[in-house]
A and B are shown apart, each in its own frame.
Chain A
Amino acid sequence: MNEAPESEPSKLANIRYLYSRAGFGATPVELTDAGRKPLRSVIKQLLTNGKQPFAELYVVDAETNVTKRNLKGMMRDGKLDRDMLKERIRQNVENVRDLNLQWLDRMASGENALREKMALFWHGHFACRTMGQNPLLMQQYANTLRQNALGNFGELLMAVSKEPAMLQFLNNQQNRKNAPNENFAREVMELFTLGRARNGAPNYSEHDVKEAARAFTGWQFTPTGQFIFRPAVHDDGEKTIFGKTGTFRGEDVMGMLLEKPQTARFITSKIYRFFVNDTEDPKRVDDLARHFQKNYDIASLMERIFTADWFYDAKNVGAHIKSPVELLAGMRHTLGIQFDTPQPQIFVQRTLGQLLFYPPNVAGWPGGKNWIDSSSLLFRMQLPSYVLKAADVAVQPKEDGDVNTVSLARKGGQNFKTTVNWSVFETAFAKIPDADLPDALAAVLLPFPLRPDQRTLIDTQIKSGQTQSERIRLLTAALMSLPEYQLS
């Protein structure tokens, strides 16, 4: 990629764009620091940080975690009364909530940003919804995604497929010799590796699914959340999958799937649509996929994308609609925002349709334009007023009907109390003359420069006699309320 001809503003724009895609945006200080280095070394840094050892998310440990089933057993044995049972189940739901918030904190911190961003992508790809309110299983699942986020795709695929949360979500516990349940095998092919069809031709047959389901029998988990292979329920007979015959087990099926170029193509396409542009460029994806299939190294694939000239093309910049979690984590990161109470961040996720650990189904969040309808767009444009000015919230998300998740809808969601680290943010603009503030702030916050009509509108937010600090705060809230702030 070219380093030399870049002008300062366009370099700043490129770095801003890179941070918004490879992470959750940048603070003004991060932008200034990165601006002093060649872009290629900024990318290297993002990738290296992402590979460093990471701190696991932790809300519960294996010894003290008690599943809902066990709790019900304890009630039958008279060890718990009904109120205690309810309280313990509520506690489990709250632990999943706290796991959600802990992960969001990590995203907002900006540390290992690419790893967290990649893990968020994998959470949508290997979508798994909290079942039976078991925080331990979700904690393990999340850490497996984060651990392997930039590693080897084959290892990630195997590890996440063997996660008890996933085996439970996809009913593999019920997939037994002589009584197969095809759910797991079907989703592994349709959603995790091959995709249903390419150019109208199916990537696998119903027969492949049936036979693969037999191979996955015996993949189970223990009550303490450990993967276990149970030979007694495994069908060890011959299976024919993709034209090959043998006494295959689940690991063999995964191996066969990784051998297929279509797996690399499918994953690369999805990564391209998430990180580059919702509209795929088939030739570029073909090219990336060919390299990816050689060793399935996720970090190399990402490096190839971020260092490509076309990644910075005007048609890609601002083409991505931020997901609700990207929006929230990004806003927090840029301004150093802390929430004083837990519920509002859950409220935002629920209202906008992306609640971590509760994807709508195994296909994950559809993303792109699906995030936007009249209600969600108005709410997104109001969000800065809620977060920065504690404005009254007059919106209530729907209940999902599940009696077990009602505590996620608890009161307090609309009470935004936040602490914003304004002083650090403001310092970066201390030397900017008042007249230039809107454009300087826009260069940090938005994918495009302000248009003259927008600038006029933004100017109406400030009144004469205000201090620079007041101006920066008002302008920032106004810029974050623009439709363009929804884009990265």
Chain B
Amino acid sequence: MNRRDFLQQSALTTSGTLLIPHFLKAYESRAMGQPMAPSGKILVVVQLSGGNDGLNTVVPYRNDIYYRERPGIAIKPDDVLKLNDEIGLHPAMTPLKALYDDGLLTVINNVGYPNPDRSHFRSMDIWQTATDSDKYSQTGWLGRYLDKSNSPEPYRTLEIDDTLSLALKGEQLNGLALLDPKKLYGQTRSGMVKKLSQEHDHEHETASYLYKTLAETVSSAEYVFGKAKVKSTGTTYPASELGNRLKTVSQLIQSGVATSVYYVSISGFDTHINQPGQQERLLRQYAESVGAFMADLKTAGRQNDVMLMTFSEFGRRVKQNASNGTDHGTASNVFLIGGGMPSQRVMNEAPNLSDLTEGDLKYTVDFRQVYATLLRNYLGADDAAILGRKFDALKFV
């Protein structure tokens, strides 16, 4: 054995035994696999990026103002999938209507926040950080949820993507982003990553933070990959980006991965020009993917443990523009699906199109009321500590 081989081997043995950082030991001794929410409930957030046009998603099909302001893009009353005698769903959303008929869908109208911002980036920031529109935060609401939980490991909040959204970044800890458990696992096995992750605590605080992140990444990736050995229920998902991602979520849930929150986003809702075709395609993709996801969970007997929440950073202007599209607006609707809620269906009043602010809808439900209700009543977390103050709960749980 030459000197290098010897060093290599001894480094391997020591790093495998003596030099496991203490935070990792704590990690292993903890019962991995216990759900984080006391209730065992799981939240799946689906973000529609670009500002989905809420008025053509949940259509006020009896409202004259709606038809007057949108001569080129309004959905005809006959085409609307009616939810009640005021509003109905876009015709591309039949699977969602079926969920509604099964008592699994709750629609909340007019969700927004005070002093709305019409920039995509800023408004998404506000939704993800859950701060007032004149304040800036470096942490997201789900990142703070992870911070405050009693079992803070990155995989507890999981984004199905290559990069991590601000929503999942905490003060102490960040959630984990992965598009595919195998792919992330492969990345942590390539090059020197795995070996470096076994390095002991560094004397420099910042370096030590990097090594801690690396170690958490490697063990989280290992945990999720090791756990995610699922047999599919045989449900067919649409071959779209959202379909694939929700399929991954379902597999992880069914494998018993101890993740409490999943985060998924799809893009393309910024419909300034020729809205109808584009929005129809996206809403169909959304509804078919969500329909398959809920059917899959139903077969697996998990549909009451999983709630899917859908939002967009803003809705769009009531009046259409000159290019058969719509411009950035304010309040819009939020969907809640599954989770074993009492079926509330349409929770509140339809948008009031005769009382607008500069052509935009007024919000009546603060989106942080939705978050607060989900955190406290659904996930069993301390909503006021996470959101910075108390918001009135809604009655959907």
Chain A contacts to B: CB under 8 angstroms: 76, 82, 129, 186, 278, 315, 318-321, 351, 353, 358, 360-363, 366, 369-370, 372-378, 381-382, 385, 394-404, 448, 451, 453-454, 456-457, 459-460, 478, 481-484, 486-487
Closest 9 CB pairs between A and B?
Answer: A401-B49, A401-B50, A374-B217, A403-B270, A399-B267, A483-B210, A363-B136, A373-B174, A366-B138
Cβ-defined contact, A486 with B191, below 8 A: no
20 contacts between A and B (CB under 8 A): A318-B207, A360-B125, A361-B125, A370-B138, A372-B209, A373-B213, A374-B176, A375-B177, A382-B187, A394-B187, A397-B162, A398-B49, A398-B162, A399-B268, A401-B120, A402-B120, A402-B121, A453-B199, A459-B8, A487-B207
Alpha-carbon distance A404/B270, docked complex (angstroms): 9
A477: nearest chain-B partner, CB-CB: B191
B162 touches A396 (CB 8 A): yes
Partner of B191, one of A321, A385, A401, A484: A385
Contact residues in A for B209 (Cβ distance below 8 Å) = 369, 372
Does A320 lie within 8 Å of B206, measured CB to CB? yes
CA distance A399 to B162 in the complex (A): 12
Contact B204 A398 (CB under 8 A): no
Q: Across the interface, do A448 and B164 meet the contact criterion of CB distance under 8 Å?
A: no
Report yes or no: B124 in contact with A401, Cβ–Cβ below 8 A: yes
Contact B162 A374 (CB under 8 A): no
Q: Is the CB of B267 within 8 A of A453?
A: no
CB-defined interface of B191-203 with A at 8 Å, one 1/0 digit per residue? 1110110010000
Residues of B116-175 contacting chain A, CB below 8 A: 119-122, 124-125, 134, 136, 138, 154, 161-166, 169, 174-175
Contact B193 A378 (CB under 8 A): yes
Q: What separation, in Å, do the CA atoms of A451 and B270 have in the docked complex?
A: 51
Contacts A399-B267, A401-B270 given; indicate if A457 touches B207 (C-beta within 8 A).
no
Say whether, besides A129-B121, A361-B121, A453-B199, A377 and B213 are in contact (CB < 8 Å).
Answer: yes
Q: Is B269 an interface residue (CB 8 A)?
A: yes
Nearest residue in B to A409 (C-beta to C-beta)? B267
- Report the minimum CB–CB distance from A65 to chain B (whole Å): 22
Residues in B lying within 8 Å of A, measured CB to CB: 4, 7-8, 11, 14-15, 49-51, 119-122, 124-125, 134, 136, 138, 154, 161-166, 169, 174-177, 183, 187-188, 190-193, 195-196, 199, 204-207, 209-211, 213-214, 216-217, 220-221, 265, 267-273, 313, 322
In the complex, residue of chain B having the shortest beta-carbon distance to the beta carbon of A314: B204
Interface pair A400/B49, CB less than 8 Å apart: yes
Residues A375 and B169 in contact in the complex (CB < 8 Å), given A399-B267, A481-B191: no
Q: Which residues of B contact A395 (CB under 8 A)?
A: 162-163
Contacting pair B177 A478 (CB below 8 A): no
Evaluate contact between A374 and B163: CB separation under 8 angstroms.
no
A373 and B267 contacting across the interface, CB-CB below 8 Å: no
Identify A398's interface contact among B134, B265, B313, CB under 8 A: B265
Contact among A378, A478, A483, A486 for B188, CB-based, below 8 A: A378
Contact status B193-A381, CB under 8 Å: yes
Rounded to whole angstroms, the CA-CA distance of A358 and B121 in the bound complex is 10
Identity of the chain A residue whose Cβ is nearest the Cβ of B9 in the assembled complex: A456
Residues of B within 8 A of A373 (CB): 164, 169, 174-175, 177, 213
Interface pair A318/B204, CB less than 8 Å apart: yes
With known contacts A374-B176, A381-B193, A399–B199 Cβ distance under 8 A:
no
Q: In the complex, what's the smallest C-beta–C-beta distance from A207 to chain B, in angstroms?
A: 16
When the two chains form their complex, are residues A398 and B8 in contact, meaning their CB atoms are under 8 A apart? no
CB < 8 Å neighbour of B163 from A76, A321, A351, A402: A351
Whether the pair B192, A457 counts as a contact (CB closer than 8 A) is: yes
Bound-state Cα–Cα, A277 to B378, Å: 41
Residues of A within 8 A of B196 (CB): 457, 482-483
Measured between beta carbons, the chain B residues less than 8 angstroms from A402 are 50, 120-121, 270
In the complex the two chains form, what is the Cα distance from A396 to B7 in whole Å? 38
Write the nearest CB–CB distance from A229 to chain B, whole angstroms.
Answer: 26
- Given known A457-B192, A457-B196, contact A398–B267 (CB-CB < 8 A): yes
